[in-house]
Amino acid sequence: YISSYNPSAAIIGFLYRYLDEDHPMFSEVEKAVDKAVRYLIQEDVTEMHELRCFNDMYEYVCEGIDCFNLKRRLLELNNLVIEKDPLKWLSSYSAKPTQVIVSLNTPGVQDLMPLIKEELRLTYENREKDGGFFVPWSWGQYPEDFKKARKEWQGILALNFLLKIKQFKIDI
What tens digit of pLDDT does each residue of 15-58 get? 999 999 999 999 999 999 999 999 999 999 999 999 999 999 99
Q: Which of 100, 110, 1, 116 is nearest to 53 (CA)?
A: 100
Centre a 10 Å sphere on the Cβ of residue 141 and count the other Cβ atoms it contains: 7
Write down the mean pLDDT value for the chain.
94
Of 53, 67, 49, the residue nearest 9 (C-alpha): 53
Q: What is the pLDDT of residue 1?
A: 61
pLDDT tens-digit readout, 62-97: 987 889 999 999 999 999 999 999 999 878 889 999
For the four alpha carbons of 148, 154, 157 and 163, in that order, the dihedral sign comes to: negative
Share of the chain above pLDDT 90, in %: 85
Q: State residue 143 phi and psi, 5-degree precision.
A: -60, -35
Interval 135-151 mean pLDDT? 90
